[in-house]
A and B are shown apart, each in its own frame.
Chain A
Amino acid sequence: MAELVKVTINGEVYEVEKGRLLIDVCREKGHAVPSFCYYADLALQASCRMCLVRIEKMPKLQTSCTVTVTDGMVVTTESEEIEKARRGMLEFLLANHPLDCPVCDRGGECELQELTFDWGNLEERFIEPKNYQPERYLSPMVANDPQRCILCKRCTRVCDEWMGEEAIEAGGRGAATIISAYGDWLNCSQCGNCIEVCPTGTLLDATYRHQARPWELVRTISTCTFCSDGCQLALGARGEEVLRTVARDRYVNGINGEFLCVKGRFASHPFVNHQARLRTPMIRYRKGGKLLPATWDQAVEFVAQRLSAIRDAHGPEAIGVVGSPRLTNEANYTLLRFARDVIGTENYTATDAFSLVPFFENMSAPLATHRDIRDAQTILLIGGEPEELQPLTGKQIRQAVRNGGARLIVVNSVPIRLTKNAAQFIHSRPGAEEAFVLALVARDETELAARKMGVEASEIERARRALGETQGTVVIAFGQLSPAAQKAVAQLPHLYAGDGRRFLFHPLPLFNNSVGVHDMGLMRGAMTATEMLDAAGEPIRALYVAGSFLRQQLDGRAEKLGRLDLLVVQELFETETTEHADVVLPAASFAEVDGTFTNNAGQVQRVRQAIPPVHLSKPDWLIVASVAEAMGAKFGIELSASAIFRDIAANVPAYQGLRYPLLKDESRPVQVKHALAERRDIGSEIEALHAAVAQMDEAAPKITETPPVGHELFKLGTLTEKLPQFHYLAAGNPKPENTLASSPLIQLTIDAALRKRREEMAVAGD
């Protein structure tokens, strides 16, 4: 417990922890202090001068954002002198600021507007001409009205400290200072966090320009549907249309604060009301025929009859059921019950990119939350590329190093951007990261591992020492690993913990509900997704798929879908999988359903319905339940997400004791309790790893180029491609000829070369 000190604020005496920032203490105790530049967990700036207070024995007013409390400090936050200073600062800030709030997209949620109402000068004394700057675009995502800038530099700090990109900076000097980038064009990961933290209408969401006023929007807090980090976000809907996504912490206070990545921020909603959404159920009555619209009753009846017939003719194992790491726990759990209890097949799986079953079966330390990563002392990152694939984790790792002084060890065959923050980068040959895992669990393999990785044995030794010596939390984060390596990693704490050292794990799966779909048990079926595809036709005769197969799974196997007697697909859009379907059932998107996702920290977070299902679509679990009922089976559960969750809590051990209402508060996410494994014998894993490592090519050249920002983020997927601006990013985001008048998108319609580049950018298969 930190030392307590006595501080007097406006005559009231408080005992607070020594060393805390005065501004935080004042606010916590109910003494309002305005500010613009102060932003928790970013470098202090003290430039806006709004937070001035009087501290006894100090000659001038002091910025409360930079002063830490000491014993006996006597503070005044309200006095004529302070009022005048605050009014004076606001008057300065408004001097060159346009006073046309009604045309500004930030109007109604602008901090400058709010503070002016609270503290401002009502009489305008500035009669001089305002400095003029034209409105413009800084990227397809970022619209910019430089005149409104108050130079709080939150934007440049989040870009630098959170993202490590330093893409947006202040240029010029004095009153001509301008927030921009070289060439006035942002070539960055387009996270838009600068937009989010901007207190004024300076940096604005270009995809939402002039579309709605904030007070018209109904906000629904939900969980992001892209990566496994599970950021909390607020969907803004007008009527039955979702118009924007934000993470402003005054609406949302989740694990990510105001952070979101380009996909979460810009691509979360455009697909929801997209015209390409499937509108009705469709049936292909004969192979080679067309998909024809049908009613729900017809479609459900059709599916139930055909499935029953196949089961009767070929046995239940002829039917495969496939869930998806994109769908809610409730949907996946219903699918599992459908497979086991209704059809009676063990052939179920999900379309995840890889399975985490070997890891979870042997996991011997708890999962790290994103907060744990931020506070870690040592972070070991084996493989993966969180900057592109789990951006919140990337940000937390970066901040742990930059703001928390953590030691980062990166083991990777690619010099990913995070290596810039690493204390140690063990640069392995392509695909040889597992050799490092081998060396960690079997010391006498160090020489072999080093040789295969193309590194010095001492480098591995150094990393090993760091793991053994760290006092405080060690987080082991890892990307895709073979089953043997997963098991070895899962057992590392048994080898390195001791002495009260705290180990935590952070797996880096790819999808928003990868962990959930594992937890629901779908990944423990008798076949994997590719095995099922390979078996399509014989012995698998029918597949019931929620979502679609990944491109990598379909690669070379798409034709096999045509051999099935029956393919049923629940989807949002037409995909490569639906092309072969006999029945397509329109599913409701995450914005239209209730439920839960479980993120890579094992936190179960709510998905909330922002608008009713579009067209005739229905929640996935409801569709499955209808088919089950038509096949004569009742699940015995009420048909609601919370009812299904109750069933999950009763049957999935890690979720025991959880209740849907407990998950209400996104600022207090609930972590499920994955069982911790005892120390296991990993002799056979070491053998398997040894065999694999021994096979590795000792001469393979290393990858020396850091991949460009966005090489994964900007891939066009089924969802992201619904946002036109994403195509511009995929095409390389060149600076358009004119950034002033029209949206940069116009460039795509007039520049054929750009369109071609966009085509070439591989479509991600999800």
Chain B
Amino acid sequence: MRIEAIGCEPLLLARFNLENSRLLETYRRHGGYEALRKALTTMSPEDVINEVKKSALRGRGGAGFPTGTKWSFVPKDSPKPKYVVCNADESEPGTFKDRYLMERDPHMLIEGMLIAAYALGAHTAYCYTRGEYKYLIDIMDQAIEEARAAGLVGERIFGTDFSCEVYTHTGAGAYICGEETALLNSLEGLRGHPRMKPPFPAVAGLYGCPTVVNNVETLCAVPWIIMHGGDAYRGLGTEKSGGTKLWSVSGHVKYPGVYELPMGYDDMERFIMEDCGGIPNGRKLKAVIPGGSSVYIMSADDIIGKDVRMDYEGLVAAGSMVGSGGFIVMDDTVDIFESTKNLIEFYKHESCGWCTPCREGTDWLVKAFKRIARGEGRPEDAQLLLDLCDNIEGKSFCPLGDAAAWPIQSAIKRFPEDFKRHLVPLVERERAVA
């Protein structure tokens, strides 16, 4: 598996290939925790928030919300304690970048969490990590202990008045707990159902207190922004999306891996065919899901010769989304009906069951896909599937419902042949052949 930066200096990946990259000593030798020192000793919390606003850093968890703006929603005068929560639930199919950030450079994340805590006036930060990543929780715990021993976590950091504790927390197998409000319920020891918004976590989050939830990658970008300034970060990317972005590449490419690209990297085709080594075994590109399983699937025609720009606006223009940057490539052996069925089974398994359309809709869709796969498809099923998706989309309690509908809607739209083939009862298909 490859881990490398393309089209920019490695920013998030800067220390990945150092020996003992996860040790505090290595981190500090390479400038680690200097951003925290700078923030604590020379900047006010507002300065930090402004710098992050300037950087045009947008949330890397999937929604792409401007991070500085989110931080500024936290009420300054609230008498309640405030919390920073790092979202390391990383469960979106196709996404595995946070895993390597935590594995190779845990202190970068801790520093990011501490700076965020300082900016928001929080004294406790939790890192909610999916249960399967137990080894990463151990790595984080060790790193936190190291930092605590060095006075970087805990009381009066760098001799200032700022104190902050950092803790890890484990999930236990639930994709929905990546959704920030479900995550907070889970962190409170409840079932991982999402909460109603408003109130947003920035106002009433963990234990009803103001809380900021940010993705691992988002927080990891913060130390660099503080060190080099928001303008510098924005300069790496585009006007509206600053900095660099990690893409988790998997599927039918020669070199799967984690790639750091500047926002606005200008050609998705080149990225697949050259940077990732192209499609192996002499096969042809058929489809790409560029931003984790929840976004619209793209066909080769949407990509080849289309100069698709890899940033928030570019992907929307090309008919998909950045999402979490889980980039799944499929060659021409793949039946898109089958790949879509695989994903809808995922969503059914992960639906929390709270709301009607998502719970019942995904259950029905899976049953329909299975029936069709058994050879009992009917021509009217295309319409049925689309209609069920329409009854879920925009009507579910949280975005998981939409995330289940979009892959199907886009797959039927962009790969109608792959569906049509299945929507004739098997008996008739056999008869036609005979």
Contacts and interface: CB of A to CB of B under 8 A. Distances in A.
A84 B387 CA distance: 10
B425 to A, nearest CB: 13
Determine the interface band of chain B, counting residues with CB < 8 A from chain A: 20 to 34
B395 A89 contact: yes
Interface string A133-169: 0000000000000000011000000000000000000
Contacts, number: 90
Contacts of B351: 173-175
A92 B364 CA distance: 8
Interface string A715-736: 0000000000000000000000
A177 B361 CA distance: 14
B122 interface: no
Interface in A48-78: 48-50, 52, 60-61, 66
Contacts of B371: 127-128
Interface of B: 174, 191, 196, 348-357, 359-364, 367-368, 371, 384, 387, 390-391, 394-397
| Consensus secondary structure, chain B interface | helix
Smallest CB-CB A-B distances: 6 pairs: A88-B391, A177-B353, A92-B360, A128-B367, A175-B363, A174-B351
A92 B356 contact: yes
A218 to B, nearest CB: 36
Contacts of B395: 49, 52, 60-61, 85, 88-89
Contacts of A60: 394-395
B174 to A, nearest CB: 7
Contacts of A128: 364, 367-368, 371
A639 to B, nearest CB: 57
B394 A95 contact: no
Contacts of A636: none
A752 interface: no
A89 B357 CA distance: 6
Contacts of A44: 196
Nearest to A97: B360
A66 B394 CA distance: 16
Contact of A131 (B353, B357, B363): B363
Interface of A: 44, 46-50, 52, 60-61, 66, 84-85, 88-89, 91-93, 95-96, 125-129, 131, 150-151, 170, 172-177
Contact of A173 (B352, B368, B396, B397): B352
Given A46-B397, A128-B368, A174-B363, A66 B353 contact: no
Most chain B CB within a 10 A radius of its CB, from A96, A127, A175: A175
A173 B172 CA distance: 13
Contacts of A177: 353, 359
Contacts of B368: 128
Nearest to B350: A174
Contact of A175 (B196, B348, B357): B348
| Consensus secondary structure, chain A interface | loop
9 contacts: A47-B355, A50-B356, A88-B390, A91-B391, A92-B356, A92-B364, A151-B353, A170-B191, A173-B174
Nearest to B391: A88
A125 B384 contact: yes
Contacts of B363: 95-96, 131, 174-175
B394 to A, nearest CB: 4
A92 B357 CA distance: 7
Contact of B364 (A89, A95, A151): A95
A125 B191 CA distance: 32
B270 to A, nearest CB: 35
B37 to A, nearest CB: 43
Given A44-B196, A92-B361, A95-B360, A175 B391 contact: no
A283 B348 CA distance: 73
Contacts of B361: 92
B30 to A, nearest CB: 43
Contacts of B359: 92, 151, 174-175, 177
A46 B394 CA distance: 14
A89 B397 contact: no
Contacts of B356: 47-50, 89, 92-93, 150-151
B355 A175 contact: no
B360 A96 contact: yes
B360 A66 contact: no
Nearest to A85: B395
A60 B390 CA distance: 12
Contacts of A172: 353
B175 to A, nearest CB: 10
A126 to B, nearest CB: 7
A174 B391 contact: no
A48 B354 CA distance: 8
B353 A174 contact: yes
B212 to A, nearest CB: 23
A49 B397 contact: yes
B394 A49 contact: no
Contacts of B360: 92-93, 95-96, 175
Given A49-B396, A125-B384, A128-B364, A174 B357 contact: no
A154 B133 CA distance: 36
Contacts of B390: 88
Contacts of A89: 356-357, 391, 395
B13 to A, nearest CB: 36
Contacts of A95: 360, 363-364
